[in-house]
Structure 1
Amino acid sequence: MQSMNFQYFLLFFGLMFPLVFSPGPANIVFTMAGIKQGVKKSIPLIIGVNLVSILYSLLIGFGLGEVLKHYPELMTILKIVGALYLVYLAYKFIKPRQRQTSVKNTYTFWNGVILQALNPKGFSMQLLMFSVLLDGSFKQIEQIFYLIFMLAILNISTHFTWILIGNSLSQWMSNPVTEKILNYLFSSTLLLIAIWIVLYVH
């Protein structure tokens, strides 16, 4: 049993790590959150993203994936709305900042909820996880919760990593020229991801 579980974990990690860690809408935003507000103030963003991710995992694991197979237009709507939200985030990156007397968190819990709710990459990734790894190698309900738990751990670890990467870049943001370059870089990346989602995510 232990050998099977370890082999199953290796299969999970080999499939999901590249998908979770690769640059996507959430990871780009986590990097910018690390740059602009540091690790501690970005924790609500992590909570918002991962609560929605866990909810989606529960829904897909217990049958929503089968519903989407019969109503693919729902996924199309999610893709379009999600891509539009990424365009909005890209605009926010390059919009001139207004000087404020008080510091306000740029990325909050509700930003995380909206970001993940409209993230078709995350949704497609979870569909893939259950379609490949929900294989009946042990009890189905146990397997569903095992996959949800492992994905949550991998997600949270990855999100903290991207925030730490962003935080390490924060020193460059004191230079207005460097700040502008980074903002345009992340904005362009989000626009490319939005195009990729519309054209290639199924």
Structure 2
Amino acid sequence: MSFFIIWLGVMFPLVFSPGPANIVFAASGASVGVKRSIPLIAGIDSVFILKSIIIGFGLGGFVKSYPEVMSSLQMLGSIYLVYVAVKYMRVNSAKEKSMTTELGFFDGLLIQVLNSKGWLMVFLMFSLFTEPSQDAFGDKGVYILIAWLALLNISIHFVWVSIGDVLSRVSDDPLYEKGLNYFYACCLLAVSVWLIIENPMVENYLDISI
């Protein structure tokens, strides 16, 4: 139990923080509600579980050996988030809303595959907790970490979708609805710009230019 509390103390802030996926969850909850956001959650968390398996069983070293792969994923992910943000900004009516802003399973897969924060978070968890988990649980330690992270992710992702859903119910005013969409879009754009600026490829290019 003490090991779980320590693990939760480290991982909860990382999972709950307003990263790209969580902002998309809130926007999806506001647009289509909790039930219709389940395919998006399934897509994102399927990739999260796959990342945990890859890194937890040692294949993460291969990914870590090629930082340019992570940089490329981060750049592609940033561009895709800009695309999603533009979709939310273009919402003007209920009909258009249902057609353009319902993100599904494939969108979830794409968002999480290209989410560099997700990769780094899983790397961090296993670098900190692989040895303690094996001391506590033996050979089952890695499996338990994967299960814990999956349960924490799914729970928190439903919380973010629910937050978006609750905010959307505050008012039926079209201006409020449009403002909410612009808020989510601006958050996504801000995250995208930050990821692009922090991308090693961009930093190296700026250093060479200077």
Flag whether TM exceeds 0.5 (same fold): yes
Identity across matched positions, percent = 44
1:174 aligns with 2:172: yes
Q: Tell me, what secondary structure is at the counterpart of 2:142?
A: helix
Distance 1:27 1:171, change over 3 A: same
Contact 2:40 2:103 in 1 (8 A): yes
2:5, 2:199 → 1: CA distance?
25
Contact 2:91 2:181 in 1 (8 A): no
Once superposed, what is the RMSD of the aligned Cα atoms? 2.2
Distance 1:12 1:99, change over 3 A: closer
1:183 corresponds to: 181
What's the TM-score, normalizing by structure 1?
A: 0.88
2:112 is aligned with what amino acid?
A: Q
2:102 corresponds to: 106
1:75 corresponds to: 70
Say which is worse superposed, 89-98 or 73-82, in terms of deviation.
89-98
1:35 corresponds to: 30
2:60 is aligned with what amino acid?
A: G
Contact 1:50 1:152 in 2 (8 A): yes
**Pairs aligned (count):** 197
Gap runs ≥5 in structure 2? 201-210
2:85 corresponds to: 90
Gap runs ≥5 in structure 1? 1-5
Contact 2:31 2:97 in 1 (8 A): no
Deviation at 1:99, TM superposition (A): 6.6
- Alignment match of 1:63 (pick from 52, 58, 61): 58
2:190, 2:104 → 1: CA distance?
24
Deviation at 1:116, TM superposition (A): 1.0
Deviation at 1:51, TM superposition (A): 0.7
1:129, 1:193 → 2: CA distance?
22
> 1:111-190 maps to which residues of 2 (within 5 A)?
111-135=107-131, 136-138=134-136, 141-172=139-170, 174-190=172-188
